[in-house]
């Protein structure tokens, strides 16, 4: 409102009319009421410019209160009295101005000079000095009495009959609870004169009332507030003398007209509710909004569970930090979370190691209002104090070079250099202050402090106010946070301990012959599935009648070392053809099968589920025998072998700082933990846990309080009843150097395992982290109590990996020897080898019959040999789909 009229006033008067950056107190009712009164008084200047001094003085007084960082009942009371008095000036529009009226207005101006000078001097005092200076209450009472009499005279002059609300001017001056405490304190310690000479008493009072104490407190107690008031009065009168004349002659009417036209008639868009409004219709409940931004995930607002707005206030045309509203966070986060929107000159931050609350302050240069947007043409800087969140105290605002110039003049008058402070608690707060040089703002002082830090972080950032650019190196006045010392020597850690055998990820031996791996169809934890393909070929001559009919296919298994084959649970032939199956000569029959091999009772209880690996064969190779039965009763069997080939174990990798593990040979599993170097703000990464500096410092802080040096880090895998293994980690704290020098990690079998036999205990050195003081201290090792648990002895079993049980070769059929037939009667002697003899006729006939029978036997023998060759072809096309399976041998037996 007031900025619109700046062109009609001299520059020094504009300083008084600029819109100040209010503190959180600006939302108190007594200050909100001043806005309406200011508008009415400025509107009065259209016809009565002589009211301008009153308007200017009231504006200065309100600016001082808006910048105050704490509520003071005496200041509040005095402002309410003045506001009540000035609220009656609007009656001047409807009456004739007399000399008496002008006299009252002139006396009002004198009283406002006294009130403004008193409030300004009082606000400059430290809280401790305000309370112990008991004459302050008397001065406020005197000013309140002057305002009351002037108000009464004004009401009589204006012929106002006020029947209500007179308690504002008739009530007595209030007393602050701290004032009462100061009266009792001074009574117990002599007088104010005695306290002035004993700073320790003043410090004791500050601690009792939870106030901050510095060197200025004693200086103010020994000083005279009357001198400060007199200087303020002279300063204010000089401003009035320099500016009011020009304002009355050339501008008060134009100011009033401009204010009416620009503020009362112009339309604005509210940044809180995005609605259009006019200042003439803007009231304390005109705007409705939510404190928190809208959460698209939960479809709600964080401040309440209702869709309707939960907050009401005036419409605002510019973003501000006076109170939280939802749209502000999108605006502020849209600037601060991107790197191309701003350039941070410096930031100070600290974390409470008990509550993890963070104190933060930063200052830098603005580049863009939105990421990837156009560059800002006007030099602008930003200041952030606190965490920008609706439930936390925060401040975020931007300042142009022109705004800094005007603000420097106001600060020269009010001496209010503080931009914002998150809390009055001296143990934990974040604060930013302007630094002035020659009446101009030339830098900012950032301070953060948390309760767990002995000292605050304080940095001073110089900048050029004309260009809003950094003007030099940032000065570190104080370094807070949790600091550690440099150890005098290196830490020597115990050797890592591993209990239990080490399993290998290689097969126990090569397989006898390779088979092509085929993907398993499915599995369950009670059985292992083997899937393969078999081809049966009839090798008889084409066109012959020697067909083969397969009536049954069965499967059995055994583990190497066993002497008997056991039937499989199920053998599933995948082909759609049903048995029996007849195979014509020179034709084949291909079919897929799936054999289900049952696990032992012990293996079933382990409930292990593997993919593409047979759990039953993890220790000993498995042999699977398929038997094909011909319809005539003959059988052919094929033995195949599966040797377990484990998945490769991932050992220590190149970027591992540490690798701790133990093996479970019964389940053929390796349980391991990796420790790597942390990324971003993390010092280490233990498994999937990022260990940052704050966590380490918090552990050390608690260790110092409890004097325990082996601290559970509360990370790991522990507490689940169905876990086969678990691990935990402890931090080993060096109390002398105030740091963690190692992390101890224990891996062991979990609650599921009743008889624990395997474990591993290791140490990981922690690299340097955080702020380290160059001063060295002797190292102090932690007192360790965590050791390896009591374990039962594990007896390593020797398993058979090969045998000769299936090494059977079928017998080779003996050749048939044919006896030459005897020569018939009448054959010559030369034809019979030189011998000649005669046989009876009956015997000759008998020998001829034997020759015919032997010829039939020979033909049968030849046919059997052909069948042997056909059955042998079965083995040539057999494949088993379990990974790494091989054909062992084929045997043929006849029954």
Higher model confidence: residue 24 or residue 317?
317
What pLDDT, on a 0 to 100 scale, did the predictor assign at position 443?
95
Q: In degrees rounded to 5, what are phi and psi of residue 158?
A: -90, 0
Residue 622 banded pLDDT, cuts 50, 70, 90: very high
480 Cβ contact list (under 8 Å, min separation 6)? 350, 448, 449, 450, 453, 454, 455, 456, 457, 458
Residue 261 banded pLDDT, cuts 50, 70, 90: low
What pLDDT, on a 0 to 100 scale, did the predictor assign at position 820?
52
Average pLDDT, integer, range 286-311: 90
**Nearest residue to 638 via CA among 273, 301, 887, 893:** 887
Q: Which residues are registered as beta bridge partners of 350?
A: 359
Is residue 169 within 8 A of residue 103, CB to CB? The reply is no
Distance, C-alpha 375 to centroid of its chain: 32
Q: How far is 105 from 93, CA to CA, in rounded Å?
A: 14
Q: Using CB atoms within 10 A of its CB, is residue 697 exposed (0-12), middle (13-18) or buried (19+)?
A: buried
What pLDDT, on a 0 to 100 scale, did the predictor assign at position 41?
67
Q: How far is 444 from 367, CA to CA, in rounded Å?
A: 19
Decide if pLDDT at 260 tops 80. Answer: no
- Read off the pLDDT of residues 437-486 as tens digits, 9 standing for 90 and up: 988 999 999 999 999 999 999 999 999 999 999 999 999 999 999 999 99
Q: Which residues of 381-394 are buried (b: 16+ CB within 10 A; e: fewer)?
A: bbbbbbbbebeebb
What pLDDT, on a 0 to 100 scale, did the predictor assign at position 307?
87
Average pLDDT, integer, range 493-509: 89
What pLDDT, on a 0 to 100 scale, did the predictor assign at position 881?
40
Greatest C-alpha distance within the chain: 187
Q: Transcribe 201-243 into DSSP letters.
A: HHHHHHHHTT----HHHHHHHHS-HHHHHHHHHHHHHHHHHHH
What pLDDT, on a 0 to 100 scale, did the predictor assign at position 273?
93
* DSSP 8-state assignment for residue 93: G
- Read off the pLDDT of residues 542-601 as tens digits, 9 standing for 90 and up: 888 888 899 999 999 999 999 899 999 999 887 666 888 898 999 998 888 889 999 999
Helix (H) or strand (E) holding 639: strand 635-642
What pLDDT, on a 0 to 100 scale, did the predictor assign at position 441?
94
Decide if pLDDT at 500 tops 50. Answer: yes
Residue 77 banded pLDDT, cuts 50, 70, 90: confident
What pLDDT, on a 0 to 100 scale, did the predictor assign at position 245?
57
Length of the chain: 895
Domain coordinates in residue numbering, the chain: 3-265, 319-481, 512-656+796-824+840-895, 666-777
- Read off the pLDDT of residues 187-212 as tens digits, 9 standing for 90 and up: 887 777 777 777 888 888 888 887 87
Helix (H) or strand (E) holding 429: strand 429-437
Residue 69 banded pLDDT, cuts 50, 70, 90: low
Distance, C-alpha 220 to centroid of its chain: 48
Decide if pLDDT at 99 tops 90. Answer: no
Decide if pLDDT at 123 tops 80. Answer: yes
What pLDDT, on a 0 to 100 scale, did the predictor assign at position 831?
38
- Read off the pLDDT of residues 138-176 as tens digits, 9 standing for 90 and up: 888 888 888 888 888 887 777 665 545 667 777 777 877
Helix (H) or strand (E) holding 31: helix 29-44
Decide if pLDDT at 886 tops 60. Answer: no
User: In the chain, what percentage of residues exceed pLDDT 90?
Assistant: 38
Q: State pTM to two decimals.
A: 0.60
**Nearest residue to 159 via CA among 230, 111, 212, 88:** 88
Is residue 33 within 8 A of residue 49, CB to CB? The reply is no
What pLDDT, on a 0 to 100 scale, did the predictor assign at position 148?
86
What pLDDT, on a 0 to 100 scale, did the predictor assign at position 12?
35
What pLDDT, on a 0 to 100 scale, did the predictor assign at position 832?
40
What pLDDT, on a 0 to 100 scale, did the predictor assign at position 883?
39
Alpha helices in 355-465 (DSSP H): 401-414
What pLDDT, on a 0 to 100 scale, did the predictor assign at position 55?
79
The neighbour count for residue 883, using CB atoms within 10 Å, is: 18
What pLDDT, on a 0 to 100 scale, did the predictor assign at position 10?
35
| CA 45 to each of CA 147, 499, 507, 686: distance values in angstroms, whole numbers, following the listed order | 22, 93, 100, 72
Phi/psi region, residue 156 (left: phi>0; alpha: psi -120 to 50; beta: rest), is alpha
User: Angle CA(846)–CA(851)–CA(857) in degrees, nearest 5?
Assistant: 130
What pLDDT, on a 0 to 100 scale, did the predictor assign at position 108?
87
Peptide bond into 43 cis (omega under 30): no
User: In the chain, what percentage of residues exceed pLDDT 70?
Assistant: 79
- Read off the pLDDT of residues 510-535 as tens digits, 9 standing for 90 and up: 876 533 323 233 334 678 888 888 88
């Amino acid at each position: 409102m007031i900025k619109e009229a700046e062109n009609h006033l001299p520059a020094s008067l504009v300083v008084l009319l600029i819109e100040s950056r209010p503190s959180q107190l600006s939302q108190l009712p007594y200050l909100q009421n001043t806005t309406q009164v200011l508008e009415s008084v400025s509107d009065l200047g259209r016809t009565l410019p002589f009211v301008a001094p009153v308007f200017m003085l009231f504006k200065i007084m309100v600016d001082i209160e808006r910048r105050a960082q704490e509520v003071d009942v005496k200041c509040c009371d005095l402002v309410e009295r003045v506001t009540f008095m000035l609220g009656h000036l609007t009656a001047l529009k409807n009456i004739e101005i007399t000399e008496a009226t002008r006299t009252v207005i002139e006396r009002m101006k004198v009283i406002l000079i006294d009130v403004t000078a008193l409030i300004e001097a009082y606000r400059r005092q430290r809280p401790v000095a305000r309370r112990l200076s008991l004459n302050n209450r008397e001065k406020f009472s005197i000013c309140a009495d002057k305002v009351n009499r002037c108000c009464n005279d004004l009401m009589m002059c204006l012929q106002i009959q006020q029947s209500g609300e007179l308690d504002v001017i008739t009530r007595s001056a209030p007393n602050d609870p701290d004032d009462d405490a100061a009266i009792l304190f001074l009574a117990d310690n002599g007088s104010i004169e005695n306290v002035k000479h004993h700073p320790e008493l003043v410090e004791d009072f500050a601690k009792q009332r939870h106030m901050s104490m510095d060197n200025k407190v004693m200086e103010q107690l020994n000083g005279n507030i009357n001198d400060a008031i007199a200087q303020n009065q002279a300063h204010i009168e000089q401003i009035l003398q320099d500016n009011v004349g020009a304002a009355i002659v050339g501008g008060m009417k134009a100011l009033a007209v401009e204010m009416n036209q620009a503020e009362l008639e112009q339309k604005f868009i509210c940044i809180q509710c995005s609605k259009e409004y006019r200042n003439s219709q803007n009231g304390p409940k005109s705007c409705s909004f939510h404190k928190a931004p809208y959460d698209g995930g939960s479809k709600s607002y964080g401040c309440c569970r209702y869709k309707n707005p939960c907050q009401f206030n005036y419409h605002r045309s510019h973003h501000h930090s006076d109170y939280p509203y939802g749209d502000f966070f999108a605006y502020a986060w849209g600037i601060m979370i991107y790197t191309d929107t701003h350039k941070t000159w410096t930031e100070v931050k600290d974390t409470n190691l008990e509550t993890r609350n963070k104190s933060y302050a930063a200052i830098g240069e603005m580049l863009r209002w939105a990421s990837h947007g156009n560059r800002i043409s006007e030099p602008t800087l930003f200041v952030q104090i606190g965490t920008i969140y609706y439930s936390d105290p925060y401040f975020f605002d931007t300042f142009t070079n022109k705004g800094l110039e005007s603000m420097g003049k106001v600060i020269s008058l009010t001496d209010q250099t503080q931009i914002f402070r998150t809390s009055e608690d001296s143990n934990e707060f974040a604060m930013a202050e302007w630094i002035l040089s020659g009446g101009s703002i030339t830098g900012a002082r950032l301070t953060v402090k948390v309760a767990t830090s002995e000292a605050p972080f304080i940095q001073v950032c110089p900048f050029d106010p004309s260009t809003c650019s950094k003007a030099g190196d940032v000065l570190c006045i104080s370094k807070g946070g949790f600091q550690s010392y440099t150890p005098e020597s290196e830490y020597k850690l115990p050797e890592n301990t591993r209990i239990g055998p080490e399993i290998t990820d290689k097969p126990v031996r090569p397989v006898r012959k390779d088979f092509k791996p085929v993907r398993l169809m499915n599995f369950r934890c009670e059985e292992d599935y083997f899937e393969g393909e078999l081809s049966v070929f009839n090798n008889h001559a084409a066109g012959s009648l020697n067909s083969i009919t397969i009536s049954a296919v069965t499967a059995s298994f055994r583990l190497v070392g066993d002497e008997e084959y056991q039937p499989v649970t199920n053998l599933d032939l995948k082909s759609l053809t049903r048995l029996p199956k007849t195979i014509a000569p020179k034709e084949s029959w291909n079919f897929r099968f799936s054999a289900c091999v049952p696990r032992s009772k012990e293996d079933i209880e382990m409930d292990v589920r593997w993919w593409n690996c047979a759990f039953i064969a993890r220790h000993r190779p498995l042999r699977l025998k398929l038997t094909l039965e011909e319809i005539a009763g003959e059988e052919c069997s094929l033995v195949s072998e599966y040797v377990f080939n484990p998945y490769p174990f991932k050992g220590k990798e190149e970027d591992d700082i540490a690798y701790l593990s133990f093996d479970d040979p019964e389940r053929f599993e390796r349980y391991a933990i990796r420790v790597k170097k942390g990324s971003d703000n993390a010092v280490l990464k233990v498994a999937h846990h990022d260990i940052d500096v704050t966590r380490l410092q918090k552990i050390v802080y608690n260790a110092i309080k409890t004097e325990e040096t082996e601290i559970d880090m509360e990370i790991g895998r522990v507490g689940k009843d169905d876990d086969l293994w678990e691990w935990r980690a402890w931090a080993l704290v060096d109390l002398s150097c105030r740091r963690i020098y190692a992390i101890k990690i224990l891996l062991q079998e979990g609650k599921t395992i009743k008889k624990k036999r395997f474990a591993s205990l290791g140490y990981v050195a922690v690299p340097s982290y955080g702020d380290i003081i160059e001063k060295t201290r002797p190292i102090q090792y932690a007192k360790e109590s965590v050791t390896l648990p009591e374990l039962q002895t594990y007896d390593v079993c020797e398993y058979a990996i090969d045998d000769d049980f299936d090494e059977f070769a079928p017998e080779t059929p003996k050749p048939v020897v044919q006896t030459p037939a005897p020569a018939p009667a009448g054959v010559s002697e030369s034809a019979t080898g030189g011998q000649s003899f005669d046989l009876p006729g009956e015997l000759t006939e008998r020998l001829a019959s034997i020759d015919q029978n032997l010829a039939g036997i020979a033909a049968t023998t030849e046919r059997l040999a052909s069948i042997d060759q056909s059955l042998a072809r079965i083995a040539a096309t057999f494949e088993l789909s379990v990974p790494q399976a091989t054909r062992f041998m084929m045997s043929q037996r006849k029954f």
